[in-house]
Chain A
């Protein structure tokens, strides 16, 4: 456990630094964004319909800007990478270096072994998301930039972002149970998710991208009305189902 905890804390710190750093840059850039938003909107208009729509939402209000910069752009992309990286080695790293038998021959139940690894990685992903969102207002104060977004809204968005990213986390974790090499999982999922993200930006094809569930509009709408139960349950149910498949695979690998 201390080893798992240490890895989890280090990952968490790494992700926190990146998310916090980006948030600080985004806040500091906000006055410039307001000055140049006309030009930015025109540029987005020329690139794609989806991008133009998202840019318009981002330019609509302070919250729209935060949704676009911190959640849709940065948390979605970096978070996906982090989710994949944190989960890919959960079991596959032991398979790869031949230590899985050592791990499995200890007097620890299979359920506990699987759950503690799943939870450690999930916390490394979730804690920085919440922490950075909680620090949004103090950061604005320190940087002297006025952005009127309540902390509760930031935390709600962080919770949804975490639920959304848990899909990638569970897929990587489950794949880790079956795959013998960590790199295969990382490359496979990183390329796959880059493809998905790119697909979101293609008009008429974006409905096929999973990132439509965590686009600027989804986050933007949180300001006016809470997310529906379906919106919350959809990523959580997929994540849980995939994690169960992983659990089944793990039990097949370690039957007793």
Chain B
């Protein structure tokens, strides 16, 4: 059931760049205080969606509403309610981090700069350091701090952990979990399912400009645990796998000598018993140990995560 008064409401939103459909018409609502993850491979439309939400790109069709304010005609009001960290690394090289915060947080609430400084200190970023001396990861963290600092109801974070080392990535995820507890609405895009699962209660999975699935993280993890994969090897004849797919029922699919099926319960034995007696024996059977990446790769045939 869609949220009654969502922080983000998108209706029929699409964007076309020439002949390329960057984002197919999309309806999406994200409730207040929710942390929603956008996951998908490169070119799946995550960044385009973020840019559309903040008014950096004109939609081909559809409308955007943030915190009850329509983007069309009220762009500034939407930006006042939204903070954005772009996916592409950008920095004013000639400025110090402190100066960049001052520049980026212009027009924000009074405490924003102090919060940005505190976040930078927590992540070990030198406030007096010139941004041209910062590494790629440090610049990414600087953008993350600036995006989190304003007291706004909606945060749009485009791949905030990309290019960070594991310890910094962990720290950023920890900060995001704190933000989630504070009740702000966060839309977070990432290639890393694991990270998204750690801090998002809902995951929107995108591929080729379309939303493939939109689910609660817990349900996704449950689905991953119920995924059954039978590995027959690349040389297995497709004709022989047909009866296996048919026996496993609705939702079973085959790809590259592998048959995957999402079971309705936690009992793989009864599913295996349904296999035809003359079916080739699987080389490996996997159940209950799939990651979310594997769930999507196997169910939706999407590579690149």
- Which A residues have a C-beta under 8 Å from some C-beta of B? 1-3, 97-99, 101-102, 104-110, 252, 254-256
Kindly name the residue among A1, A102, A108 whose own CB sees the greatest number of chain B CB atoms within 10 A: A102
Which of A101, A109, A252, A254 contacts B90 (CB under 8 A)? A101
Given contacts A108-B107, A255-B55, contact A97 B90 (CB under 8 A): yes
Give the nearest-CB partner of A109 in chain B: B76
Q: Is the CB of B86 within 8 A of A106?
A: no
* Set A3, A98, A107, A255: member contacting B95, Cβ < 8 A: A3
A256 to B51, CA, bound (A): 11
- List residues of chain A with CB within 8 A of the CB of B72: 256
- A256, B107: Cβ atoms under 8 Å? no
Nearest B-chain residue to A255, judged by Cβ: B58
Please measure, in the bound complex, the distance between the C-alpha atom of A101 and the C-alpha atom of B47, giving whole angstroms.
Answer: 12
The interface stretch among B20-28, B96-104, B169-177, B289-297 is: B96-104
Residues on the A chain within 8 Å of B51, using CB: 101
Contact between B102 and A2, CB atoms less than 8 A apart = yes
What is the distance, in angstroms, from B202's C-beta to the closest C-beta of chain A?
Answer: 24
**B206 on the A face (CB < 8 A):** no
Q: Mark B100-144, 1 if CB is under 8 A from A, else 0.
A: 001110111000000000000000000000000000000000010
The smallest C-beta distance from A106 to any residue of chain B, in angstroms, reads: 6
The 9 A-B pairs of least Cβ separation, nearest first, read A256-B75, A256-B55, A98-B90, A107-B80, A107-B79, A105-B84, A255-B58, A107-B107, A99-B90
Least CB separation from B81: chain A residue: A107
Confirm or deny: B54 has a beta carbon within 8 angstroms of a beta carbon on chain A: yes
Chain A residues within an 8 Å CB radius of B107: 106-108
Indicate whether B303 reaches chain A with its CB closer than 8 angstroms: no
| Least distance between B160 CB and chain A CB atoms (Å) | 14
List A contacts of B86 (CB < 8 A): 101-102, 105
**Alpha-carbon separation in the docked complex, A255 to B78 (Å):** 13
Instruction: Report whether A106 and B90 are in contact in the complex, using a CB–CB cutoff of 8 Å.
Output: no
Nearest CB in chain A to that of B102: its residue:
A2
Q: Are B79 and A106 in contact (CB under 8 A)?
A: yes
List 29 contacting pairs A-B, 8 Å CB cutoff, sorted by A: A2-B102, A3-B95, A3-B99, A97-B92, A98-B89, A101-B56, A101-B84, A102-B86, A102-B104, A105-B54, A105-B79, A105-B84, A105-B86, A106-B79, A106-B104, A106-B106, A107-B76, A107-B79, A108-B76, A108-B106, A108-B107, A109-B75, A109-B76, A252-B58, A254-B55, A254-B56, A255-B75, A256-B58, A256-B71
Chain A interface main SS type: loop
B275 at the interface (CB under 8 A from A): no
Chain B interface (Cβ < 8 Å from any Cβ of A): 51, 54-58, 71-76, 78-80, 82-84, 86, 88-93, 95, 99, 102-104, 106-108, 143
Q: How far is the CA of A2 from the CA of B106 in the complex (A)?
A: 10
Chain B contacts for A97, CB-based, 8 A? 90-93
Q: How far is the CB of B205 from chain A (nearest CB, A)?
A: 25
Tell me if A102 and B55 are in contact (CB < 8 A). no
CB-CB < 8 A to B76: which residues of A? Answer: 107-109
**Interchain CB contact under 8 A, A101 and B88:** yes
Residues of the B chain whose Cβ atoms lie less than 8 Å from the Cβ of A256: 55, 58, 71-75, 78
**Cα separation A105 to B155 with both chains bound (whole Å):** 12
Most buried by B among A2, A97, A108, A256: A256
A105 touches B102 (CB 8 A): no
Residues in chain B near residue A2, CB distance under 8 A: 102
Q: Are B56 and A3 in contact (CB under 8 A)?
A: no
CA distance A107 to B95 in the complex (A): 20
Report whether A107 and B108 are in contact in the complex, using a CB–CB cutoff of 8 Å: yes
Q: Could you tell me the distance in whole angstroms from the C-beta of B79 to the nearest C-beta in chain A?
A: 4
> With the chains together, A1 CA to B103 CA distance in Å?
8
**In this complex, what residue of A is CB-closest to B95?**
A3
What's the Cα separation between A2 and B86 when bound, in Å? 23
Tell me which residues across on chain B come within 8 A of A3, comparing CB atoms.
Answer: 95, 99, 102-103
- Min Cβ gap B252→A in Å is 44
Distance in Å: Cβ of A136 to nearest Cβ of chain B: 35
**Complex interface: chain A residues within 8 A of B84 (CB):** 101, 105
In the assembled complex, the CB of B177 is this many whole angstroms from the nearest CB of chain A, namely: 24
With most chain B CB atoms within 10 A of its CB, the pick from A99, A106, A108, A254 is A106
- Inter-chain CA distance A101–B55, complex, in Å, is 10
Q: How far is the CB of B286 from chain A (nearest CB, A)?
A: 42
